[in-house]
Structure 1
Amino acid sequence: MAIKFLDWYLKIAIGSAIIGGSMELFMIKTGFYDKVTVLESEKRAWENSPEAQAMREALNPWRNHDAEERKSS
């Protein structure tokens, strides 16, 4: 039964590989990965900044409450 549809599976696999390769080539040519790398590094720098940590604490003051409660019990 699977042999009957093997040509369809091969066509779908080849078509998918061509589409995926084209997308990767497009992203490389347009500099997508360079932009994403810069954005991710800026995001990490912001998340580790004192301002971001203060904002996290202000938005969720009970974040460490459970951990302290477990230590005391």
Structure 2
Amino acid sequence: MKFVDWYLKIGVVSALIGASMELFMINTAFYDKVTVLESEKRAWENSPGAQAVREALNPWKHLDAERTKKS
């Protein structure tokens, strides 16, 4: 109990740093940019081109799936 003031100071400083980071991200439109990037990523992952790339990078995918079904 003798270091309670120290822990409170650390808590307050941490909360101020976190709040300033959130304000910075809101003011720089960080969340809008991330939303656009995530939607583009999901659109790409569901496209036929991405499916072809996944198949090309892992040609043994079907063999692994058959092994797990058998066991």
TM-score w.r.t. the length of structure 2 is 0.92
1:39-72 CA distance string (max 9 Å, x none): 0000000011000000010011011212113435
Matched-pair identity in %:
76
In structure 2, the CA distance between the partners of 1:31 and 1:72, relative to structure 1 (3 Å rule), is same
Structure 1 runs (4+) greater than 2 angstroms displaced: 69-73
Gaps of at least 5 residues in structure 2 are none
1:24 equivalent to 2:49? Answer: no
In structure 2, the CA distance between the partners of 1:17 and 1:68, relative to structure 1 (3 Å rule), is same
TM-score w.r.t. the length of structure 1 is 0.90
The alignment of Structure 1 onto Structure 2 pairs a total of residues equal to: 71
- 1:26-65 aligned at under 5 Å gives the runs 26-65=24-63
- Show the counterpart of 2:10: 12
Matches of 2:70 and 2:33, distance apart in 1: 47
Deviation at 1:24, TM superposition (A): 0.1
